């Protein structure tokens, strides 16, 4: 049997595609190995996915992670949760910073090349109704969709039924309660479009 470092280093070298020092290759190899271990409960994981730290994964539905996704799960772990009928899709080359919490009861779809800042929260269900007599009745879910190349700043909250258009930026601390058109810069609570992104 080939020792672990000898098995992982060639894969890391292939994944990186350029010459690096042995230390850099080892760090990259460990990142790839961590991804395989921590994402073992995912439904599908693409090539060259990297994980730093320990994300919390609870997959009772479908968790699809495309290639070259980076998950930075530092002091506050990333939490990815799917309920039995839920589907969470994370597109290629998407970056997620520590403390993100995503819950899919129906569908949360994050497109390719997205940047998700620290402590972002996305839930496709409100879990309780406003009517005091119906608080224990769960409302229906509505999908969350982040199109290609969306950047969510730190501590953004995205609520159910929201689509954020391609190439948009959401400022830190915003609460997104309605759709944001493509190429928009939005901020506030609730978030509103401030200007167009060129």
Nearest to 29 by CA among 15, 44, 45: 15
Taking the C-alpha atoms of residue 151 and residue 174, their distance in angstroms, rounded to an integer, is 12
Q: What are phi and psi of 27, to 5 degrees?
A: -60, -45
List the catalytic residue out of 7, 40, 58, 128.
Answer: 128
Q: What are phi and psi of 33, to 5 degrees?
A: -65, -40
**Cβ(184)–Cβ(174) below 8 Å:** no
Taking the C-alpha atoms of residue 10 and residue 193, their distance in angstroms, rounded to an integer, is 47
Is position 38 annotated as part of the catalytic site? Answer: no
Residue 28, token pair as written in the block:
């990259």
Residues marked as catalytic: 128
């Amino acid at each position: 049997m080939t020792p672990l470092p000898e098995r992982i280093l060639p894969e890391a070298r292939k994944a990186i595609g350029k010459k690096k020092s042995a230390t850099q290759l080892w760090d990259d190899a460990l990142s790839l190995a961590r991804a395989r271990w921590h994402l073992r409960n995912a439904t599908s994981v693409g090539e060259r996915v990297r994980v730093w730290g320990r994300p919390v994964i609870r997959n009772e539905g479908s968790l699809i992670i495309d290639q070259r996704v980076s998950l930075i799960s530092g002091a506050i772990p990333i939490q990815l949760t799917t309920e039995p009928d839920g589907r969470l899709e994370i597109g290629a080359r998407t970056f997620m910073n520590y403390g993100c919490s995503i819950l899919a009861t129906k569908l949360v779809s994050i497109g390719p090349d997205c940047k998700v800042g620290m402590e972002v929260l996305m839930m496709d269900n409100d879990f309780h109704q406003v009517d005091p007599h119906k608080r224990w009745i769960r409302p229906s879910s509505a999908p969350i969709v982040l199109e290609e190349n969306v950047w969510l700043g730190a501590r953004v909250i995205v609520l159910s039924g929201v689509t954020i258009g391609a190439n948009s930026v959401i400022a830190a601390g915003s609460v997104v309660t309605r759709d944001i058109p493509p190429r928009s810069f939005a901020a506030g609570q609730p978030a509103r479009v401030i200007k167009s992104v060129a």
